[in-house]
Each structure stands twice: as structure tokens, then as C-alpha cells.
Structure 1
């Protein structure tokens, strides 16, 4: 099995305020389905009110981030599925629930994982 990251940036999910609860309910239903199927690993949204920091090897904390990750935000799901096609099927379910397209990326194989 391979772990896949399914994600979307915050700006992609444009939902009227009165429909947010319906979107949340639909997203939670997909999460419940993934858990029942035994493919759920982790999911959640980046707390955009907490600024990112870099932690160096000596423990130094700097309130900056890598330039290429300044826009890292939105929602993330990690699933462990047997095929890329299965990951794409789950991404489609999440896209319907969240009302926005999903990006799919495979994690590299880790024999220790």
C-alpha cells in the first residue's frame, strides 16, 4: 500500500457561509467512510492563525519559513491505499464534499514505515 497526500489550498474552497455546515458534514462523512474502509491515516486543516517557524538543529526557533512554503495552508488528508487509482477515487469524493478540486501526491516508499 502507498500513502497519498490529498490536499487543497484555502482559497480553492469558496463556499457561502450558510453552506459551510453542509460542507463540513459532507467532509466528515467521507472521513468516516475512509476510516470504515481502513485507509484513513490522518487529516485536518492548517491553523492559519498560528504563524509557521523554522527550528534549526541546535533548537533555535526563527519566525520565518522556507520561501516556497509561504502559502502552505488549507486542508490535508493522508490515506493508505493499494493503488493510485484508489487515491484518485478518494480525492474525487473529497472534491465533492469540499466543493473544490484536490491535489494528489504519493509519498515515497519507506521500508521502516
Structure 2
């Protein structure tokens, strides 16, 4: 089985205030479906109020991040699934619940795990 990252950036979710509760309820329902199906690994949203830091091997901490990941935010789910097709099916469920398209990426196989 492969782990898949299903995600979206914050800016993709454009909602009116009156829709927030419905979207929250719908997305939590999909999470519960994934848990019940035994495919849920981890998920959540990036806390955008906490700024990122870079940590070097010697422990030096520097504020900021890599330029190419400056916009890393939004919501994420990691599911363990039997196929890319299954990941696309779950992404469609999240897209419906969150009212925005979802990106699907596969994690590389780790033979040590």
C-alpha cells in the first residue's frame, strides 16, 4: 500500500462566512469515512499564525523557509491506499467537502518501513 498526500492551498478555498460550518462538517465527515475505512494516516491544516523556521544540523534556527515553499499552507490528509485510482476517489470526496480541487501526490516507497 502507498501513502498519498491529498492537499489544497488556503487560497483555493474561497467561502462565504455562512458556508464555513457546512464545509467544516462535510470535511470532518470525509475524515471519519477515511478512519472507518482504515485508510487514514494523518491530516490537518497548517497553522498559518505560526511562522516557519529553518533548523540546521548544528541546531541553528533561522526565521523563514526555502523560497520555493514560502506558500506552504492549507489543508492536508495522508491516506494509505492500494492504488492511485483510490487516491483520486478520496481526493474527489475531499474536493466536494471542501469545495475546492485537491492535489494528489504519492510518497516514495520506504523499504525500511
TM-score by length of 1: 0.99
| C-alpha RMSD over aligned residues | 0.5
Structure-to-structure mapping, 1:89-100, within 5 angstroms? 89-100=89-100
Unaligned runs of 5+ in 2: none
Partner of 2:28: 28
Question: Following the alignment from structure 1 to structure 2, what is the Cα–Cα distance between the partners of residues 100 and 112?
Answer: 35
Runs of 4+ off more than 2 Å: none
SS at match of 2:64: coil
TM-score by length of 2: 0.99
For residues 8-65 of structure 1, what are the alpha-carbon distances to aligned partners after superposition, in whole Å with 9 as ceiling and x for unaligned?
Answer: 0000000110110000000000000000000000000000000000000000000020
SS at match of 2:65: coil
Partner of 2:64: 64
